[in-house]
Amino acid sequence: MIQITVSETDFFLPEDGAAAEKQFLDLLSKLTEVWISAFGFTLQPMFDALKKVDAAGGKIHLLLDHSQSVGQAEAPKVKDLAMHLKHGDLTITTAGIHSGAPDQIWHWKGLVVEPTDGKAKHCWEGSTNFTLSGWLQGNSARVFRSDPWASVFVKQFEEHRAWARQNEPQYQVA
């Protein structure tokens, strides 16, 4: 648990869907490093932005639910991105570490962006899946800047990534 005080932008979808998607994609275009945790992960403009960032030397770290490695819509896009990543990593997982039911889904949707401007890290969290339909559904998202929140997010992300790589080799995309 962490207590922070921040100024944030809150999106209430579907009404704010277009604005939330634009903000999300804008964050992906201005970074030196990003940690993304996602359940639904099929938005093509996101894949395009991540490939562009990777080609420019940006570091990309992805932690995705195991359904993303087998789903008809997800698997080809995820495998293609994994093949193109030169400066990042992709880990597939379940609820795993610290879960009373480790075979359940990884449903955490959020990201931390190390921005190019050197200021506090951008943070994103909400119920929105990173899919075309996610912006059209009843979802929420919040965007703010907080180095303390980002530190906790990245620490948990990296702890879970290490666990998944050690304990769930069957899900990893080669």
For residue 62, what is the domain's CATH number?
3.30.870.10
- Structurally, how many domains does the chain consist of? 1
Residue 21 inside a domain? The answer is: no
Residue 135 inside a domain? The answer is: yes
Residue 66 inside a domain? The answer is: yes
Residue 101 inside a domain? The answer is: yes
Range of the domain at 103: 35-171
H helix or E strand, kind and range, residue 24: helix 17-29
**What is the residue-level pLDDT of the chain in tens, covering all 174 positions?**
888 888 999 999 999 999 999 999 999 988 899 999 999 999 999 999 999 999 999 999 999 999 877 778 788 889 899 998 999 999 999 998 888 888 899 999 999 999 888 889 999 999 999 999 999 999 999 999 999 999 999 999 999 999 999 999 988 876
Please state, in angstroms and rounded to a whole number, the distance separating the CA atoms of residues 41 and 65: 9
Please state, in angstroms and rounded to a whole number, the distance separating the CA atoms of residues 51 and 89: 12
For the entire predicted model, the pTM comes to: 0.93
Question: Cis omega (within 30 of 0) on the bond before 102?
Answer: no
H helix or E strand, kind and range, residue 65: strand 59-65
Residue 16 inside a domain? The answer is: no
Residue 5 inside a domain? The answer is: no
Residue 17 inside a domain? The answer is: no
**3-state SS track over 120-160:** CCEEEEECCCECCHHHHCCCEEEEEECHHHHHHHHHHHHHH
Residue 46 inside a domain? The answer is: yes
Give which of 29, 26, 50, 30 is closest to 38, Cα–Cα.
50
